[in-house]
Amino acid sequence: MFNQLKPQPADKILALMAAFRKDPRTDKIDLGVGVYKDATGNTPVMRAIKAAEHRLWEEQTTKAYVGLVGDPAYGDAMINLILGNAVSRENIGAAATPGGTGAVRQAFELIQMASPDARVFVSNPTWPNHISILGYLGIETVAYRYFDDETRGVDFDGMIEDLKTARKGDVVLLHGCCHNPTGANLNLVEWQAVIDVLNATGAIPMIDIAYQGFGEGLEQDAAATRLVASSVPECLIAASCSKNFGIYRERTGLLMAVSQDAGQRQLNQGTLAYLNRQNYSFPPDHGARLVTMILNDDALRADWASELEDVRQSMLSLRQSLAGELQRLTGSDRFAFLGQHRGMFSRLGASPEMVEKLRADHGIYMIGDSRMNIAGLNADTVPILAQAIVDVGV
């Protein structure tokens, strides 16, 4: 049996992470995998997480199973964080999942189950693992235009034109905020236009929201997701706590199935529980429990929100200084888009050859499509990167 296996393609992001670790250069710079790093290069455990872990250690009396969709209190707290009051709780089915990727995977499986002929529209580009999982499940994908290589902003007209070709029952995958990999995002007027197209075509939105709090702020980053969820008959929302709670390895995510028809909720909820049971039974609890404790405790929540805001501000200031440094070196505003992008990533717009040169000659690692993790920088490395970008001729 085993000799029938074929080697599988390496995940681009994880392959780069491995290559970086192997590189013996001490002045190498990691702008690869999407993990927040502070100025010293550490990915800290957030203060509120530490405090909640401490409390949990003292208070927890059992590790018995919780439930197939996780603790309902986790679902409630996360729904509140992401959707606020945009949709009645009665209309939302929700299940805890192993990370945001788990939520994405379960969403795709639900789509396949409910609507085997549905195509999934994905932005060009999108997070490579979206494409990989869709391909693995044999779901047809259609790329819609998203990133304008010239302006390094959203090709909004192209996007709308392509979304208009969706058929009733197709699914359109959208990034709720902080688009990965480009950093280019829609404004709320543009989101409304996307919603109008979805409602005109009968296509169903699926929102992947993995960076709430990293863009414009916790509330602002949820605004588009809330607008969509309250404006369409049905949608799926895959959320991650990996980044905004800094609990990457705890695998903490949530999948929501939102319907305007409260009568539909029970069926949705049952389906989410069934899918969890088939794939891994009970979702991980540790991270979800910490998140619930934090969101339901005023002091912990305030401390978490304030540390998250510091993280957001630090990435914003790195963006501004990189854009400023490039402005100084080139005497032009060609790189001003870096200050306008939001979230952890920016697509630089360098060719694969330039990206390779940055790695080989300067020890600077970014994904092959020139996605940079801005949080991988610090005050010392910003000028080094800026000079290298100029040197390789971006």
Residue (of 253, 254, 365, 374) closest to 312 by Cα position: 374
Active-site residue identified among 30, 162, 208, 221: 208
Q: Is 350 a catalytic residue?
A: no
Helix (H) / strand (E) element for 388: namely helix 381-391
Q: Tell me if residue 77 is catalytic.
A: no
Which of 52, 118, 184, 210 is catalytic? The answer is 210
Query: Which of residues 12 and 301 has its CB atom nearest to ligand LMR in the complex?
Result: 12
Nearest distance, CB of residue 87 and ligand LMR, angstroms: 26
With b for 16 or more beta-carbon neighbours within 10 A and e for fewer, the 323-348 pattern comes to bbbbbeeeeeeebebbbebbbbbbbb
Residue whose Cβ sits closest to ligand LMR: 34
Q: Tell me which amino acid residue 18 is.
A: A
Rank residues 166 and 207 by Cβ distance to ligand LMR and give the closer one: 207
Task: For the CB of residue 34, give the shortest distance to ligand LMR in the complex, in Å.
Answer: 3
Q: Which is nearer to ligand LMR, 148 or 208 (CB)?
A: 208
- Which stretches of the chain are assigned E, i.e. beta strand? 29-30, 92-97, 120-124, 141-145, 171-175, 204-209, 234-240, 253-259, 345-347, 364-365, 371-373
Task: Tell me the closest approach of the beta carbon of residue 210 to ligand LMR, in angstroms.
Answer: 6
Residues that bind ligand LMR (CB under 6 A): 13, 33-34, 127, 129, 180
Instruction: For 208, list phi and psi in degrees, rounded to 5.
Output: -105, 115
Annotated catalytic residue within 95, 243, 304, 350: 243
Residue 256 CB, nearest approach to ligand LMR (Å)? 19
Min dist. Cβ of residue 393 to ligand LMR (A): 26
Q: In whole angstroms, what is the distance from residue 326 CA to residue 344 CA?
A: 19
The residue type at 27: D
- Nearer of residues 37 and 334 to ligand LMR, judged by Cβ: 37
Residue with tokens 């491995």: 18
Q: Which of 77, 103, 127, 184 is catalytic?
A: 127
210 is catalytic: yes
Nearer to ligand LMR, 133 or 385 (CB): 133
Is 86 in the active site?
no
Q: Which residues of 46-84 are buried (b: 16+ CB within 10 A; e: fewer)?
A: bebbebbbeeeeeeeeeeeebbbbbbeebbbbbbebbbe
Mind telling me the catalytic residues? Answer: 127, 208, 210, 243
